[in-house]
Amino acid sequence: VKFLFKKVLLLSIIKSIMDNKISYNYNLEKKKINFVSYIITTYNKKNFVYDVIKSLCFEGGSHKREYIVIDDGSKDNSSFVYKTLSKKLPGKLTLVKRKNLGASYSTNEAVKKARGFWIRLLDGDDLVTYKSTFYMLYLAHLKNVSFVYGMIAEKKINQFDKNLDYKLQSKEEGLKKFIRNCPGNSSAILVSKERYIKSGGCNESFISPDQVLFLRLFSSGKAVFLNKVVAKLPELNSSSRLSGQVRRSRYESVLALINFCTENPKEKKQLLKQAYKRALSRANNYNKSLNKKFFSYQLLIYLYSKLYMPNNFRDLMRKSLKVFTKAEANRPVLWMTGSDKFSISSKYIKK
């Protein structure tokens, strides 16, 4: 009997792996309803660790917390600094150090390890503001939502402002906002572990998880927008930030829209059309500013997009990627994530 049980169990595990149907623990127990797992991804950001730890120590709030730091192949002893300062944190720190695979891969990896009901994302040089997680948790419970996000700022702010200006956004409102632009980054997100995983998490082929993640989270439902700064960028912006690498960041912003259309072929035509037009508009704008080409094929298909949406609209979006690479639409090797280079990247956390 034991032999048969083991055989059946083994076969079910093999079948589950083959079907890519992995069972996750979403930490839905009632006792974990105020348990937050802070996911911190870092790569060569040793100089920012002290300020990050300090902001976490002084954040405040009565919620239970843990910290999961993924050192994504740093060569500057970032891990050592985290180990040294970890005892100051108001929660257990788990440190994972490995070769460079990218922030998106790291975020998915850490979420799988999380023991909290909630996930608070944080880039390795961003600082949480006073009681920001507390406010987002409060609104999540008040409005019965599993996704709350706020604002992020570079300049000095009054982080002790207690006013709660917020808006409940529908799925469609959120998608329209993040198709048009990506006015936030992942450090402004509080989301349940369940929703993060079921939404697909980060696409590990992207250097920056931001726009794809927001679009995926809104594709699964409503959210609360907190009109308050919940995270602060370093005053001296890190040179490793994707925003400082114009061609690659703009390439990914258009690719994120293609990704959205590919994953949601049955979404409202109005939203798909908005993504189509936005991608071609962005490519045309940067063709003028980066490549100094004012009259081009890209301008023609951009004007065409204003009048008509063809069945092959995604092909036209993909062709526009050449504006940023100056060559092929495919991602250049230098722009690939570590997980892509090692052929272990997946489009979803589930795979």
**Statement: residue 9 has pLDDT above 70:** no
Q: Which H or E element spans position 325?
A: helix 322-325
User: For the segment 184-239, what is each residue's pLDDT rounded down to a tens digit?
Assistant: 899 999 999 999 999 999 999 999 889 999 999 999 999 999 999 999 998 655 45
pTM of the predicted model, to two decimals? 0.90
**Statement: residue 123 has pLDDT above 90:** yes
- Range with lowest mean pLDDT among 105-119, 211-225, 268-282, 321-335: 321-335
- DSSP at 34: T
Q: Which H or E element spans position 209?
A: none
**Alpha carbon of 244 to those of 88, 105, 110, 237: distances in Å?**
32, 21, 26, 9
Structure tokens at 226: 């907190």
Asked if residues 217 and 223 have their Cβ atoms less than 8 Å apart, the reply is yes
Q: Which H or E element spans position 32?
A: none
- End-to-end CA distance of the chain: give it in Å, rounded: 33
Asked if residues 91 and 13 have their Cβ atoms less than 8 Å apart, the reply is no
More confident residue, 75 or 2: 75
Give the pLDDT of residue 19. 47
Structure tokens at 69: 């730091």
Give the separation between CA 349 and CA 107, rounded to whole angstroms: 9
Q: Are strands 118-123 and 64-72 parallel, antiparallel or unpaired?
A: unpaired
Give the pLDDT of residue 12. 55
**Statement: residue 10 has pLDDT above 70:** no
Structure tokens at 304: 């065409």
Give the pLDDT of residue 351. 52
Task: Give every CB contact of residue 135 below 8 A, 6+ residues apart in sequence.
Answer: 150, 164, 226, 228, 230
Per 3-state DSSP, the chain is made up of helix, strand and coil in percentages (nearest 5) of 50, 15, 35
C-alpha dihedral sign at 211, 212, 213, 219: positive
Asked if residues 190 and 223 have their Cβ atoms less than 8 Å apart, the reply is no
Residue 17: band (very low, low, confident or very high) from pLDDT cuts 50, 70, 90? very low
- Range with lowest mean pLDDT among 219-223, 276-280, 322-326: 322-326
Give the pLDDT of residue 18. 47
- Range with lowest mean pLDDT among 11-25, 47-61, 85-99, 151-165: 11-25
Average pLDDT over all residues of the chain = 90
